[in-house]
Copies of this chain bind each other. A is one copy, B any other.
């Protein structure tokens, strides 16, 4: 695959963002997040999504001048209104505030309503982990998958993040849509034609399929379990933020004004840093040291994206050239 040096990608995104009307500060922040997502192996919410983000800003679907603001301070939790501003900037502000609350109360929560797409969910988990916090966050989405037993889409795939800091910065990072495959990964498989390693959903005949192009209805992880989990994540984010549920988002006809929850736990208030790091290391080392399925390799969540991050620093960020050329032309 072709590669572009990370800094060149940041600079190019920055150029486009300035031309679109962002301030210098916001342009650097956004450019770093989009380039970082590609660098970490999540191009579906990095380079590949960048042109669509610019389009959303130009069309006014994402309001360039709007920013999330605190509406209600409720102790260790706050409610914020995202005002349909850029989801990445809103997300960073809200996890940033959750971290501050955690520094004061050990646990801190910000519930955000009325925001736009936050791109890669893991961004905000890494933000918390970089600050020495456990970060947990999730978003709802519009209707993307049926409930267990249902035929039509009624649930969001509601990506969920859990991040646990490690001293070397290679944080444990779970970042998962509640569908077996995210929209981004489904798109990658559609373009490449490569089969999913396990069934990702149902085809038009209601059969489970590993063919992304034939998949009409994504499968929730664990069947009824993911179906229930997606529903609960949706309700919790919407109720705590006084925002829209998936049902209400979908009624608008386009995905806008979603609800999110950001939780941080400040580990420096909880225990000794060396003991915590040793406990994490002990478990990760144990996890990857067992007997493997032939041809498989056990890894901990975040391990592969940390490896990709290092490889990209050395070799450049892998890109699908069609997307890079789109950005150059913006």
Contact = CB atoms under 8 A, between A and B. Distances in A.
A54 interface: no
Contact of A232 (B106, B148, B152, B164): B164
A30 interface: no
Number of identical protomers? 2
Contacts of A2: none
Nearest to A72: B270
Nearest to A155: B287
A267 B291 contact: no
B150 A290 contact: yes
Contacts of A246: 283
A297 B146 CA distance: 12
B231 A225 contact: no
A126 interface: no
A94 interface: no
Nearest to A198: B223
Contact of A150 (B146, B155, B236, B293): B293
Interface string A75-95: 111010000000000000000
A187 interface: no
Interface in A269-289: 269-271, 275-276, 279-280, 282-283, 286-287
Contacts of A221: 221-223, 225-226
B229 A290 contact: no
B245 A282 contact: yes
Nearest to A289: B154
A148 B290 CA distance: 11
A28 interface: no
A107 B299 contact: no
B270 A242 contact: yes
A131 to B, nearest CB: 15
A147 B234 CA distance: 27
A292 interface: yes
Contacts of A300: 228, 231
Interface string A143-182: 0001111111011000010101000000010101000100
Contact of A235 (B149, B233, B283, B293): B283
Contacts of A197: 223
B176 A229 contact: yes
B291 A150 contact: yes
Given A76-B75, A155-B287, A134 B174 contact: no
A247 B280 CA distance: 10
A3 interface: no
A252 to B, nearest CB: 14
A248 interface: yes
A-B complex: 5 closest residue pairs judged by Cβ atoms: A221-B222, A149-B296, A228-B301, A75-B105, A76-B76
Given A75-B76, A245-B282, 11 more contacts: A148-B298, A150-B290, A152-B290, A155-B287, A174-B232, A180-B223, A234-B283, A238-B279, A239-B279, A242-B275, A248-B282
21 contacts: A76-B105, A76-B107, A77-B265, A134-B240, A148-B296, A149-B297, A151-B290, A154-B286, A160-B229, A162-B232, A162-B233, A197-B223, A221-B225, A221-B226, A228-B301, A231-B283, A240-B265, A245-B279, A247-B282, A248-B282, A248-B283
